[in-house]
Structure 1
């Protein structure tokens, strides 16, 4: 049987199957735990984002108030500046007084339609005609906001608030511009949470993504910027929050609040809550913990199956395999610590082995008794045949006819051959099958020993293949060999009288299902005819076959073969080729006899 691969043998183990079934059972619970943990993390993240949104809007509220205040100032100034436009010195003084009273502005100016401003807080002339911000404000003719990278006075980034100026007739006459430096924007430094726990970082940037101000130093600004999103992409009309990794590689939550839509924005950020911010294995704990518990449960199930079941089953399996292979030592099957089902199975196995051993012992006794009885029967048959041969010998002494003596002598030889067969037949190994090499060797040895005399010297050559036959074939073959060897001894003679005659007997197996028996002997040129019509002379003379020939033919017919004779100048050979019967025939016949 082909040995299964290791992975297949692993799948067939009880521990694997128990763990596999448990894995299927626990998998939905594990998935629910993982999903619940992820939901908790998402909920925690949403809370952090909402909290950051509130903190960012609170921190930017001062800037929003300042911008709204600047817008109101621009509206009031636009309504009041037109009457003073015709008095350049008075207009300039008004602008200078406003800047001195509110130092948060770096420049306040009135810019007429031509773009040349002489009425401003700087007391000088500015040409705004080519300034894109001036052109856009003149076209829109409404309050507008714009971020200018370099202010004319502050030389730094400023937020420009513009408001159109109209005359009494409602005609557009220019605009009022207030420049609010970013250094003047107030970003709240205090938050509702302590800085050491979750410090809030605030920066402002324009629509192009340029950072204008920051609550941290320029060296630490990387912690406040998202890595995978550009600031220019974080523009819009609505506030929003998101989670991302900062440029420095720290996980943070970001919130964007538009101070002036499409112009000025505030970006606040802080670390997420501890249960979400933890990195590495601890950060993955909400997912890893259910998965690890699932894996540990499978390992525990495997070990439990190994401890409670498999080791006891392996112990029983080793004992059963040894017992099945013929070893009648049951071995160690101590399963006292096993579950009750395995203990009951081990007890049943012990009782079964005891029953089998007891039955085998009884069967051996019965077989031995039958063998003894069978051998006794054949011993008595042999004795009876020898008694018949002795009576025939006594009768021959009283007979004066040479022909009668010859006939009785032939009968006596055949009776002794039958006695020899009964003595040797069941001394060979087996009852349902017989080893022919043992049987034929004993018969040939017995017959040649009886025929060997000083005046008849023989040289015997025998070669028997180890062929197992049923008794139905072994008995007629033994009788055929006995008859053929007896006749061969009777008529064997060497062409040279000084040399012993040669006799050969062979049993070969040409194929798996056929056997061939050969009996041959040397002869001289002058053969004597048998009184009974021997197999040489009677056939050659064309007479009716003698008794020996008839017996040989009858025995060959019982074997299922035919007799073939070959004769030349110095040798005579007899061959019988026959088909071997299956050994199962003898076993079935023996079983039927025992049941009867």
Structure 2
């Protein structure tokens, strides 16, 4: 995601509301998570404690067998102490006991020399080199040992040993009772009866050296249910313990270790990992999942509430505002009845604002239209008045007898008609605050040509005028300058040569920045002949004086000369920004009357008339 898209996402109101609500809910979510984890831990501890109790209950048969065997071995030791030298009598006693107690796989008396000649089944065996016998004969107390492979039975047995002591305190040997492995195993049926759980529970017995004695379904079959990270020897200790871990097959299991005889015999139970957590689907989830789901649901509910109560109304209002800003003036705000009171008040304010703006726009359009009509009417009347003055001058010229006076009046009449032409162009062009140069100047060129062209004297004119927007303060002097220069160009263009028409060229083009250049040239086409006179009067002439005055008003520079066989007039000036023209008209509307004339009057050297 790009940074712009990320900023747009994080800048949305819905995101910010959701984020703030998330911050507000964060302490509750953390507290809920801590409490859930604490409850889960407490439930786990209770389950482990319950498992310890169940393990003790499951190991009770083994303990009972052991206690019975210890009692029986002590009784037999007392009886054998009286007849230990009588092998026949000893064997008879042991044989009767074995017949009454078929649990034991071997019942025998082993004297101190290790050669067993007295046994329940009449077998003999030499234990002199057996390490287990050496330990037992040297221990004055009753004991037992786990033997993975019995010397007589050749199978795993639990040997219960009791010393044979005479009345004089002398020990003559030991009584050994061997309980086979299968007699100590607890079946699946017994486990289910005791715990009520499925047959996935396993119970093991082992000694302090880590030697496994019994298993529920056999040692080989149940190897996969032992803890993978702890050995049986490491689990042997003085206290009962329970822990959760993985078995050899990677399954989560709960293990409990209970000492049956401390430092001798232990019981290990392997329970399913979900024991005590219920059977529902939710009980199988990690403790942190439920608080996380609650937080997500809360945030979603908050986002939906913000969407329903705020965001959709704001989007509707934003759409209406954008439509109004883009120019649409029919902007209905739908669905207001369902919006909250505060947003409904904002929508009402927006509608009142749009109504006020529409009324103001209508008033402004009326005012602008009236101003435009009035301004065009002013230009039209000025044009009519100037034409009337030109007609009066024409009547006066007819009465004059002096050719000099007629020539002077003719020049004045031409300039008056030029002014009339300019005002005609101003009220015919589009716009009030700005004037299109291509519309105004093209019309002036055509008007001057129509006045000055006769059947004996016609011109071929090429125009290329850019669509530059001018303020009226620049349009008027530029038009006057073009009229004066065009009149002079037509006046001095010379007569026809072999039927060819004199050529005039008028161009207005943009320059770098806000600059513009007006070019006007005259020549005779086709012959290469030069015009009979310059483009304008002599520098001291009245026409040149006017051109320089108009250029000064435009703050431009005028250059005249010959270029490529053509006489050229070139005006460089800067186009005034329309904002300055609007500012000047605003100041005039505020009561400040702008002076349309250049500094020092329209013509340099002639002071402006005083205002009365």
Shorter-normalised TM range = 0.7 to 0.9
Rounded Cα–Cα distance in structure 2 between residues aligned with 1:54 and 1:564: 118
Residues 384-533 of structure 1: pairs in structure 2 closer than 5 A: 384-494=385-495, 496-522=497-523, 527=532
Rounded Cα–Cα distance in structure 1 between residues aligned with 2:311 and 2:27: 28
Q: Which residue of 1 aligns with 2:63?
A: 64
Distance 1:175 1:469, change over 3 A: same
Rounded Cα–Cα distance in structure 1 between residues aligned with 2:564 and 2:397: 36
Q: Which has the larger displacement, 89-98 or 123-132?
A: 89-98
SS in 1 for 2:460: strand
Superposed CA deviations along residues 569-595 of structure 1, whole A, max 9, x for unmatched, are 964221112222322211211222233
Residues 552-591 of structure 1: pairs in structure 2 closer than 5 A: 552-567=547-562, 571-591=566-586
SS in 1 for 2:122: coil
Q: Which residue of 2 aligns with 1:542?
A: none
* 8 Å Cα contact 2:125/2:152 also seen in 1: no
Q: Which has the larger displacement, 312-321 or 361-370?
A: 312-321
Rounded Cα–Cα distance in structure 1 between residues aligned with 2:224 and 2:530: 129
* 8 Å Cα contact 1:110/1:177 also seen in 2: yes
Shift of 1:213: 3.7
Q: Which residue of 1 aligns with 2:595?
A: none
Residue segments in structure 2 that go unaligned for 5+ positions in a row: 592-612
Tell me, yes or no, if structure 1 residue 295 matches structure 2 residue 326: no
Superposed CA deviations along residues 279-309 of structure 1, whole A, max 9, x for unmatched, are 7555218654443333223223223332332
Superposed CA deviations along residues 228-249 of structure 1, whole A, max 9, x for unmatched, are 6554543222222234566788
Distance 1:494 1:395, change over 3 A: closer
Distance 1:211 1:196, change over 3 A: same
Shift of 1:326: 1.3
Q: Which has the larger displacement, 269-278 or 324-333?
A: 269-278
Q: Which residue of 2 aligns with 1:546?
A: 541
Rounded Cα–Cα distance in structure 1 between residues aligned with 2:388 and 2:344: 65
Distance 1:383 1:445, change over 3 A: same
Shift of 1:364: 0.9
Rounded Cα–Cα distance in structure 2 between residues aligned with 1:161 and 1:194: 27
SS in 2 for 1:15: helix
Distance 1:148 1:337, change over 3 A: same
Superposed CA deviations along residues 533-567 of structure 1, whole A, max 9, x for unmatched, are x945x45xxxxx01111111111122222222223
Rounded Cα–Cα distance in structure 2 between residues aligned with 1:230 and 1:478: 111
Q: Which residue of 2 aligns with 1:23?
A: 22
Q: Which residue of 1 aligns with 2:587?
A: 592
Shift of 1:155: 4.2
Rounded Cα–Cα distance in structure 2 between residues aligned with 1:228 and 1:102: 41
* 8 Å Cα contact 2:106/2:152 also seen in 1: yes
Q: Which residue of 1 aligns with 2:155?
A: 156
Q: Which has the larger displacement, 72-81 or 474-483?
A: 72-81
Q: Which has the larger displacement, 451-460 or 280-289?
A: 280-289
Q: Which residue of 1 aligns with 2:54?
A: 55
Superposed CA deviations along residues 155-194 of structure 1, whole A, max 9, x for unmatched, are 4322223345567776665444333334454969878977
* 8 Å Cα contact 1:198/1:270 also seen in 2: no
* 8 Å Cα contact 1:312/1:338 also seen in 2: yes
Rounded Cα–Cα distance in structure 2 between residues aligned with 1:134 and 1:226: 32
* 8 Å Cα contact 1:44/1:273 also seen in 2: no
Rounded Cα–Cα distance in structure 1 between residues aligned with 2:531 and 2:355: 72
Residue segments in structure 1 that go unaligned for 5+ positions in a row: 540-544
Shift of 1:49: 2.6
Choose between structure 1 and 2 for higher RCO, CA contacts under 8 A separated by at least 6 residues: 1
Superposed CA deviations along residues 502-546 of structure 1, whole A, max 9, x for unmatched, are 2221112232322111111126668479xxxx945x45xxxxx01
Superposed CA deviations along residues 375-407 of structure 1, whole A, max 9, x for unmatched, are 222223223322322232232223222112111
SS in 2 for 1:511: coil
* 8 Å Cα contact 1:207/1:263 also seen in 2: yes
SS in 2 for 1:500: coil
Rounded Cα–Cα distance in structure 1 between residues aligned with 2:112 and 2:194: 52
* 8 Å Cα contact 1:15/1:301 also seen in 2: no
Rounded Cα–Cα distance in structure 1 between residues aligned with 2:221 and 2:162: 37
Distance 1:281 1:550, change over 3 A: same
Rounded Cα–Cα distance in structure 2 between residues aligned with 1:249 and 1:433: 88
SS in 2 for 1:345: helix
Rounded Cα–Cα distance in structure 2 between residues aligned with 1:492 and 1:322: 59
Residues 91-240 of structure 1: pairs in structure 2 closer than 5 A: 91-100=90-99, 102-140=101-139, 142-164=141-163, 174-185=173-184, 196=196, 202-207=203-208, 211-214=212-215, 225=226, 231-240=232-241
Q: When the two structures are superposed, what TM-score results if normalisation uses the length of structure 1?
A: 0.86
Q: Which residue of 1 aligns with 2:309?
A: 308
Distance 1:226 1:526, change over 3 A: closer
Rounded Cα–Cα distance in structure 1 between residues aligned with 2:285 and 2:136: 53
* 8 Å Cα contact 1:518/1:575 also seen in 2: yes
Rounded Cα–Cα distance in structure 2 between residues aligned with 1:263 and 1:197: 29
* 8 Å Cα contact 2:159/2:177 also seen in 1: yes
Rounded Cα–Cα distance in structure 1 between residues aligned with 2:223 and 2:134: 36
Q: Which residue of 2 aligns with 1:33?
A: 32
Rounded Cα–Cα distance in structure 1 between residues aligned with 2:185 and 2:551: 130
